[in-house]
Amino acid sequence: MPKNPVTILSTRPVSGKQLDNALAKGVRISVRSFIETSAVQNIEVQQELESISVQEAIVVFTSMNAVEAVIGMLDGHIPDWHIYCMGNTTQQLVAEYFGEDAIAGTGNDAVELAETLIENEVPDEVIFFCGNLRRDELPARLHQERIDVQEIVVYETTAIHHKVEEAYDGILFFSPSAAESFFATNQLPPHTVLFAIGTTTRDAIARFTQNRIVVSGQPGKDVLVDLAVKYFSGAQ
């Protein structure tokens, strides 16, 4: 291991196994969350979900937080849904609860997911379970095809502002909201390399800095962590 390991800041929690694997390759990862999410808990959303849960519906998830919130409200019931979702972690959560056969299509980002849905279906309406800070890309693309999008906000995101004193070699961003929260109180030295979980997060980062941005080709927290470790350990 190098005498002075490469330092990376992750803006969301990382497993202990990944921290150990990174350190073994000379990369020290520190963790500091810049957002927190919480499931929406009110009777209106619960009633709306209960109504949809007894229908055969086309449902969209672009976030693991939305999947977790909906699963919590379904309380063991498994609806007859055709589900379109982001790949990797979100897809894994959907498969674990709803079953692999429920997944009608996946995408690496919101636009790709919308295109997959448009290619496979000609629905009058889709149900989009999302957060209060959801992006416009997916509903906007579906609206272009005259598909109604019923948005149901099932979780909320709150910014957590930290002042970062250390000059990290790399920083991992897993969402646009985390990037916005980080740059609300921080600036970067020119050498810091930024890692984005997808193109939407990359575009959010680029609004605040001209530092180098490396974009993961696949969604998923583990994929982004591995990408950053390989980048600095020279394994890619």
Q: Please tell me the predicted confidence (pLDDT) of residue 3.
A: 55
Mean of pLDDT over the chain: 92
- Based on the fold, state whether residues 152 and 42 are members of the same structural domain: yes
Q: What is the pTM of this model?
A: 0.84
- Based on the fold, state whether residues 114 and 195 are members of the same structural domain: no
Per DSSP, what are the bridge partners of residue 149?
126
Residue 186 lies in a domain: yes
Asked if the model's pLDDT at residue 26 lies above 50, the reply is yes
Q: What is the residue-wise DSSP string for 78-133?
A: ---EEEEEESTHHHHHHHHHH-GGGEEEEESSHHHHHHHHHHH---SEEEEEEETT
- Based on the fold, state whether residues 104 and 75 are members of the same structural domain: yes
Q: Please tell me the predicted confidence (pLDDT) of residue 93.
A: 95
Distances in whole angstroms, Cα of residue 33 to Cα of each of 12, 178, 216: 5, 8, 20
Asked if the model's pLDDT at residue 135 lies above 90, the reply is no
Q: What percent of the chain has pLDDT over 70?
A: 98
- Based on the fold, state whether residues 229 and 167 are members of the same structural domain: yes
Q: Residue 202: give the domain boundaries.
A: 6-34+162-233
Q: Considering its fold, how many domains does the chain have in total?
A: 2
- Based on the fold, state whether residues 97 and 179 are members of the same structural domain: no
Last residue of a domain, one of 92, 126, 157: 157
Asked if the model's pLDDT at residue 205 lies above 50, the reply is yes
Contacts of 35 (CB under 8 A, 6+ apart): 11, 12, 157, 158, 159, 160, 175, 177, 178, 181
Last residue of a domain, one of 96, 123, 157: 157
Asked if the model's pLDDT at residue 236 lies above 50, the reply is no
pLDDT digits (tens, 9 = 90+) for 156-186: 999 999 999 999 999 999 999 999 999 999 9
pLDDT digits (tens, 9 = 90+) for 57-92: 999 999 999 999 999 999 999 999 999 999 888 999
Q: Please tell me the predicted confidence (pLDDT) of residue 4.
A: 73
Residue 219: Cβ within 10 Å count: 27
Q: What is the residue-wise DSSP string for 33-82?
A: -SEEEEE---HHHHHHHHHHHTS-EEEEE--HHHHHHHHHHHTT----EE
